[in-house]
Amino acid sequence: MNRRDLLMGGAAAAAAAAVARGVAEAQEESPSATDAAGPATDVDPRYRPVVTPNGSSLPFRMVDGVKVFHLVAEPVRHVFTDGLEANCWGYNGSTPGPTIEAVEGDRVRIYVTNNLREPTTVHWHGVILPAGMDGVGGLTQRPIPPGQTFRYEFTFQHAGTFMYHPHWDEMTQMALGMMGMLVVHPRRPRGRQPDRDFAIMLSEWSIPMGSARPNPLEMNDFNVLTMNSKAFPGTEPLVVRRGDLVRIRFGNLSGIDNHPIHLHGYSFRITATDGGEIPRSAQEPNTTVLVPTGACRVIELVADNPGDWAMHCHMTHHIMNQMGHDFPNMIGAELPVATRRIRRMIPGYMTMGTDGMAEMGEMDMPVPDNSIPMRGGPGAFGRIDMGGMFTILKVREDLTSYDEDPGWYEHPQGTVARPATAAELAADGVET
Ligand SMILES: [Cu+2]
């Protein structure tokens, strides 16, 4: 044996050992690796799953080392928040569809059953894969006819935050809610991993008053703005423990709009897009992250500031769901005569909006059936007048469980804004 053979032999032995170790690890780590007929599970010990507020992760089976998923495109009856529900389309009974989770390097097989009355496809948005698996109807595959099941199979080459959505009759299918998040965890995580890892899909809907179905023909005038297809107060809060490393992955599949998502109480870092990780030296500190439609943005922060922190789109029309935008502007108008006259024809009629719009959500104001115009939700200090793309990051010192809403933040004595006293105004020289 010469030196080269010795080296080769050594390398081969090392490689064989590595393979054996890999197989052992795979057997150890892969859930039900040999149980092809076993029940589907959403537990994969190789990673801490993401939390999809108001949603879930898609269960899977391991079959001969391949992670097998089954998506079912179908109509779903969806509640946006108490007071508004509609006939939508989604996957596996929900909009957005369940989050798909895998690990970098995983071979996956994803069956897609079409239970709609028109064809569909699924595009794996941002994933690097063979062209024939890209899910673009007409370009890379025949659309999936109603009643049929298609098979997608590929390997996730990169970790990251991605999305899935139809690429057939896109305008209709996405306007009705067909979309979902797709998270690929790193095979070898580097550095501190998040304690809480959230996935939130942003979308927008046109649901005219009295209608039972979102209108896919709308291009500009969206009146229901959602996180994971929920409008506040239907949005579940993000519950974290003080000191947690928190990652929030946003996807946006809105028809038209980009959403600048603003988080109170923190400066966060924008760490990744659906194109990959941003190098640490280029990670931008910010308090608002613009999530363009058709893109993902990932932010991270250390939850060192306890409290109830608003997290919302900063486009004001996106945090106050409304009936529509074709109403006359009543602000400052004095209309007692007109109101009296209208009341003769419409008993109980009120001219709304004369003193601003926040009043419109008060609980005793009558609103049309199945609508949530500026309804808002309850808060620790009365009503929160926002109602759309709005949720709350709840950071607590003591938490018994991430799964329970810890209620409202108990502010330390003397740390809440309150009416100024006459003595304080005088002492500071402020005249009112
Ligand atoms: Cu927005």
Query: Looking up tokens 């050594």, which residue turns up?
Result: 10
Q: What is the pLDDT of residue 11?
A: 42
* pLDDT value at 4 more than 50: no
336's enclosing H/E stretch is helix 336-345
CA of 4 relative to ligand 1 center, distance in Å: 63
pLDDT digits (tens, 9 = 90+) for 199-214: 999 999 999 888 889 9
Placement of tokens 């139809």 in the chain: 166
Torsions phi, psi for 11 (to 5 deg): -65, -40
Look at 109 and 375; give whichever has higher pLDDT: 109
Task: State residue 374 phi and psi, 5-degree precision.
Answer: 45, 40
Q: What is the pLDDT of residues 309-330, one digit of tens each?
A: 999 999 988 887 765 666 667 6
Residue 168 has pLDDT above 80, yes or no: yes
| pLDDT tens-digit map of 217-226 | 988 889 999 9
pLDDT at residue 13 in the model: 43
pLDDT-based confidence at 421, cuts 50/70/90?
very high
Residue 248 in tokens: 């929030």
- Return d(Cα 168, Cα 224) in angstroms, integer: 23
More confident residue, 180 or 337: 180
Instruction: Give pLDDT, residue 352.
Output: 65
| 99 contacts 50 by C-beta, under 8 angstroms | yes
Q: What per-residue confidence (pLDDT) applies to 429?
A: 97
Q: Which two tokens stand for residue 117?
A: 């009355």
pLDDT at 319: 85
Judge whether 290 and 297 are in contact, CB under 8 Å.
yes
> 336 or 280: whose pLDDT is higher?
280
Residue 8: per-residue pLDDT: 38
What average pLDDT does this structure show over 416-420?
96
Are 88 and 95 spatial neighbours (Cβ–Cβ below 8 Å)?
yes
Element (H, E) at 201: strand 196-205
Does 50 score more than 50 pLDDT?
yes
d(CA 347, CA 356): 23
Q: Across residues 139-168, what is the average pLDDT? A: 98
49 Cα: distance to centroid of ligand 1 (angstroms): 27
Residue 24 is predicted with a pLDDT of 40
pLDDT at residue 180, rounded to an integer: 98
On the question of pLDDT at 29 being above 70, the answer is no
Inform me whether the pLDDT recorded for 12 exceeds 50: no
pLDDT at residue 349 greater than cutoff 90: no
Tell me the backbone φ, ψ of residue 227, rounded to 5 degrees: -115, 125
Residue 195's pLDDT band (boundaries 50, 70, 90)? Answer: very high
Distance 315 CA to ligand 1 centre (A): 5
Question: Ligand 1 centre and the CA of 296: distance in Å?
Answer: 14
pLDDT at residue 288 is higher than 90: yes
pLDDT at 10 > cutoff 80: no
Compute, in angstroms, the gap from residue 203 CA to the centroid of ligand 1. Answer: 8
Report how far ligand 1's centroid is from the alpha carbon of 262 (Å): 10
At 272 the pLDDT is: 97
Distance 378 CA to ligand 1 centre (A): 22
User: How far is the centre of ligand 1, averaged over its atoms, from the C-alpha of 243 (Å)?
Assistant: 29
